[in-house]
Structure 1
Amino acid sequence: MNLLVKGQAAPGQTVALAEGALDYVGFSAHRLEAGQVLPVAAGDHELCLVLLSGHADVAGEAPGSGGFAWPGLGERQSVFEDTSPFAVYLPAGSQARVSATSALHLAVCRAPGAAGGELGPRLISPGAMKRSVRGQGSNTRYVCDILPDTAPAHSLLVVEVRTPAGHSSSYPPHKHDRDRLPDESFLEETYYHQVDPPQGFVFQRVYTDERDIDQAMAVENNDLVVVPRGYHPVCVPHGYQSYYLNVMAGPKRVWQFHNDPAHAWMLNAPSATVAK
């Protein structure tokens, strides 16, 4: 399986994970012009709509909750701004319409949902998202938890990360591909990449202990990297900064990772950190 899905910058669907590529995670990204409308149907999945940049109205219906409408969403013009996005959580069975009121960059994140109306649709405002700085030195990155495992959902987890030029991220290498809690959880994952300036690239490697998966990729703007299992570090060259949106899901909605033992010595170094 080729783990790199190439994207495009043109308006419309910029990139999408093929149906059935992963068991738990689904993803697509879209660029809409002002006045365009994107219909969204959750089906048996739950969704998190992330307004990466631009402005939109979101309205629709959800089982057990009736209609909903959130007009005037959007604040930032670029994913590289130091501010959190607006997002909308939609339970299984929902129908929605995303109406762009300016140029809009939208991510549609999917994972298996639960029928029965236990969770209703909700707006996730920027002020509700935890922001943090992880790492030190050339391992520093800036994290925004959009839909963490502490927030209500059935199986979906969503987080975004900005990494400065010349830095590493998701480093030291870690994985979450075994259902052996409390030490590790099984979560599939996708990385949706943006690069500034957009002609740049970053490097990402996905590998397992057994090396039955071992792919190193030059990842460009709008590309999607698929992580069915294994370690998945990112390195950003000098002169460019990196953004990625992570979508994770698995049989249990717990994010518990395991660091690569070969690089565990870094955890005792002053600049060490773990996770995304």
Structure 2
Amino acid sequence: MARLNEWFHPRGALARDGWDVVVDDRIDGWRWTGLRVGRLDGGQRLTLDARPVERIVIPLAGSCTVAVEGGEGGGDGDGDGGTIELVGRASVFDGPTDTCYLPIGTAATLTGTGTVAVAEARATTRHPLRRIAAADVPVELRGGGASSRQVHNFGTPGVLAADRIIACEVITPAGCWSSHPAHKHDEELPGRETRLEEIYWFATAVERGRMPRSDADPAGFFATSSSPAGEIETRALVRTGDVALVPFGYHGPAAAAPGADLYYLNVMAGPGAERAWLISDDPTQAWIRDDWPAQGIDPRLPYGVAVEGPPEPVEGEGLAEPVEGERLASTSSASDKVPEPVEGEGPPEPVEGERLASTSSASNKVPEPVEGEAPASTSSASDKVPEPVEGERPASTSSASDKVPEPVEGPASTSSASSEDEGNNG
């Protein structure tokens, strides 16, 4: 029988060697993926030894300089070495960030400000070092209604050339669910499911647009359950710095409490020959997808602002509110394609071997009341239902609304349109 929360690690429980978080194969039963999270304030330097892993450096809050040992040149970092500048962002809720892919066997030193994460995966094949600008990160609006979420696909197949690693970020606005329906990827079923370990690193903040409160304790919720591949049971409140590991089993939902926004970084990898995120939904929950097209994306999304110059990190793991007066990013066309997915909340997810298309939406206008009739009552922020005409039954209404994604340092590509190549679950 599974031990409750065996694979859940509260903030500080995985601190080691100058890092706030270290996930690697020293954890019993963990093999393919790794994660390091540390702070760079006060002149702190974090080092990465040359090991048989590939890595992605991700500024969570603030900016970061990656000095690759033995490298030549510099600039944007494309190639095999040099110094790579990652402009970063004010917080994880402020859109995508610059990232840097480090090939297998690469040693590097990190300096800068704020908080940085390093996603890792065991690898055998070397791919080129690469800097991925925030403006080049596909931003996906996934789900619908109370299952709306925003995904930054910086390290997914189709976006990043890599050996095994799959990584992405997910923002779930207050009161919404993500990693929903619950799903699994713990066995190799050709064309249907891939075997992948998964790491969740969480952050929470007072809901965007609300005044910060000194007495607030924003939190979310995360759950896992057993599958034929193994027994697991996680039922945990999650806050900034907490880590959940998923070696097997169904995982989800990740729920943002009312008044509290939820973020998580997903890192996945596994032993299979195919680098792909193929999942199987919990058969008791898969039907929820059918409701998403009519519900549309939550109008609060996307989160993100353009930042001019390196942002100053905000204390408290970089969970800053957006800066007043900063502009929103422009949206891309409805034909933009979404990159191959990561799990959990990551890349778009296929079900039973097929990748589902992400939902698109269109704005609905609110009907003007007819003279002599009572004003229409509201059912949501974007739909108004007119009063029924006497003698007639009121018609049911549904609506959807797409907002414009907002990237860091230049508009990131955004998609809430369907794509035959990709779907999702997140």
TM-score, structure 2 as length reference: 0.59
CA distance in 2, matches of 1:88, 1:217: 32
1:6 maps to a residue whose letter is P
Residue by residue, what CA displacement relative to the aligned partner does 1:13-60 show, whole Å, maximum 9, x if unpaired?
Answer: 222225333110111211120422111124011111111111121111
Alpha-carbon distance, 1:218 to partner: 1.3
1: CA distance between counterparts of 2:277 and 2:189? 12
Q: Which residue of 2 aligns with 1:157?
A: 166
How many angstroms does 1:139 deviate by? 0.6
Match of 2:279 among 254, 257, 262: 257
Structure 1 residue 168: Cα displacement? 0.3
Structure 2 counterpart of 1:202, which letter? Answer: G
Separation of aligned partners in 1, 2:101 and 2:66: 11
Letter in 2 for 1:199: D
Partner of 2:31: 23
Cα offsets for 1:64-102 (capped at 9, x unmatched): 96532113x223110011x211111111111111111xx
State the shift of 1:213 in Å: 1.6
Q: Percent identity?
A: 31
Q: Distance in 2 between matches of 1:17 and 1:93?
A: 18
Query: Which whole-Å CA distance do the structure 1 matches of 2:164 and 2:70 have between them?
Result: 18
Deviations for 1:195-222, whole angstroms, at most 9, x for unmatched residues?
0037322111111235822221111211
Task: Give, in whole Å, the separation in 2 of the partners of 1:221 and 1:193.
Answer: 5
Q: How does 1:235-274 map to 2 (within 5 A)?
A: 235-252=255-272, 253-269=275-291, 270-271=294-295, 274=424
> Structure 2: which 5+ residue stretches go unaligned?
73-78, 207-215, 297-358, 360-423
> Alpha-carbon deviation of 1:128?
1.8
> What is the distance in 1 between the residues matched to 2:80 and 2:56?
18
Contact 1:62 1:94 (8 Å CA) reproduced: no
Find the partner of 1:204 among 184, 208, 222.
222
Matched residues in 1 for 2:107 and 2:163: separation? 18
SS of the residue aligned with 1:85? coil
Residue by residue over 1:223-257, the C-alpha shift from the partner in whole angstroms, topping out at 9 and shown as x without a partner, is 00000011211111111000000000012311111
Equivalent-residue separation in structure 1 for 2:58 and 2:289 (angstroms): 33
Matched, 1:180 2:189: yes
- What is the letter of the counterpart of residue 275 of structure 1? N
Letter in 2 for 1:87: T
Q: Name the residue aligned to 1:61.
A: 69
Q: Could you tell me whether the CA contact under 8 Å between 1:5 and 1:17 is conserved in 2?
A: no
Q: Deviations over 1:154-197 (max 9, x none)?
A: 10011000000010001011111111120111111000000003
Match of 1:128 in 2: 136
Matched with 1:5 is 9
CA distance in 2, matches of 1:62, 1:159: 29
Deviation at 1:262, TM superposition (A): 0.9
| 1:142 paired residue among 132, 150, 154 | 150
TM score, norm. by length of structure 1: 0.90
Greater fraction strand: 1
Note if contact 2:25-2:32 (Cα within 8 Å) is conserved in structure 1: no
Aligned counterparts, 1:69-108, within 5 A: 69-71=83-85, 73-81=86-94, 83-100=95-112, 103-108=113-118
Out of 160, 168, 175, the position equivalent to 2:177 is: 168
- Pairwise CA RMSD of aligned residues? 2.3
* Structure 1: distance between partners of 2:24 and 2:276: 25
Query: Is the partner of 2:289 in helix, strand or coil?
Result: helix
Residues 39 and 98 in structure 1, CA contact (< 8 A), matched pair in contact too: yes
Q: How many residues align?
A: 269
Q: Distance in 2 between matches of 1:268 and 1:126?
A: 32
Q: 1:62 to 1:206 in 2, by over 3 A?
A: farther
Deviation at 1:61, TM superposition (A): 3.2
Report the AA paired with residue 23 of structure 2. L
> Structure 2 matches for 1:27-42, cutoff 5 A?
27-42=35-50
Give 1:237's aligned amino acid: A
